[in-house]
Amino acid sequence: MNQVSITIVGLGPMGRAMAAAYLDAGHPVTVWNRSAGKDTDLVARGAHRAASIAEAVAASDLTVLSLIDVDAMYTALGDTALDGRVLVNLSSDVPDKARGAARWAGSRGAAYLTGGVNVPPTGIGQEGSSIFISGPQEVYEEYRPALDVLAATDYRGADPGHAQLYYQLNMIMFWTAYTGWYQALAVARANGLTAADFLPYAGYTADTMRGFYTHSAPAVDAGDHDGAAARLAMCAASVEHVLHTAADSGVDTGILAAHLDLYRRGVEAGYGADGTTRLIELLGGKAPVAG
């Protein structure tokens, strides 16, 4: 059976990893990048180097974009003929810009899928990796086997913004947790500890977070703010202790101060005896509409 031909537009670390995965799987691969020199190893392995973006898009059944954002896609594709082409944009951006990009592609006759890649380049093609996909289901189903070469695809519906929404939700958690890790290490180092000293305990804390998510998710959806297990006022006091530990260590407290401000506002609003689920209301999240 003939393999789907693939064009990769954008050869940063992620794009190169994707091209390599397709070559490993036996797909005909065409590559294009605005700056020269990033495709040498891929061409040596059998990829075709397109002389232009127009040639690149015309060369394959499926064009996968791995760029910094949607604006970079507009710049890269320019006035390239897209009628009848299939684009899968795996670049990161906000949901509304993903929707705008889908409309733009559709107005030029292209089928368009949005993707959010949940792993770094080293995870491409590896078991356990995943990619959120959204857009027309019939297009997704037709090209799902090719997309699954990169990572297991998780289809999030027809709305082209939903893949990016789910991706950005994960990124909210990732970046705040990663910054928290660095904040902890700064305090540790100020007190004579190394990252290696603290790593086993950080890993334990990270592992236990799934339990907190699992416990709180149904409470959030039910509007249950019971504070029997952890009152907001008690949690605010704990965050305050964290901030003072950092301050006493001579470490910047800006990130922690923002957290403490949120908890204090909850207490000041009269929610001190409630659970921490009340914080979502302070952050502005609206409850989903039933039905």
Give dist(CA 14, CA 112) in Å, integer. 20
Q: Are 263 and 235 in contact (CB under 8 A)?
A: yes
Give dist(CA 244, CA 211) in Å, integer. 27
Tell me the average pLDDT across 268-280.
Answer: 93
Q: What is the CATH number of domain 6-160?
A: 3.40.50.720
Judged against a pLDDT cut of 80, whether residue 2 lies above it is answered with no
Give the pLDDT confidence of 234-264 residue by residue, as tens digits: 999 999 999 999 999 999 999 999 999 999 9
Determine which helix (DSSP H) or strand (DSSP E) holds 116, and give its type and residue range.
strand 111-117
Among 26, 28, 50, 27, CA closest to 38 = 50
- The CATH architecture assigned to 191-283 reads Orthogonal Bundle (1.10)
| Banded model confidence at residue 208, pLDDT cuts 50, 70, 90 | very high
pLDDT at 288: 63
Tell me the average pLDDT across 174-182.
Answer: 96
67-81, 98-112, 218-232, range with the lowest pLDDT: 218-232
Give the pLDDT confidence of 128-160 residue by residue, as tens digits: 999 999 999 999 999 999 999 999 999 999 999
What's the start-to-end Cα distance of the chain, in Å? 44
Domain boundaries, the chain: 6-160, 191-283
| Banded model confidence at residue 1, pLDDT cuts 50, 70, 90 | very low
Classified as helix, coil or strand, 78 is coil
Average pLDDT, the chain: 95
- In the sheet where 130-134 sits, what is the strand order? 48-49, 29-32, 6-9, 62-65, 86-89, 111-117, 130-134, 152-155
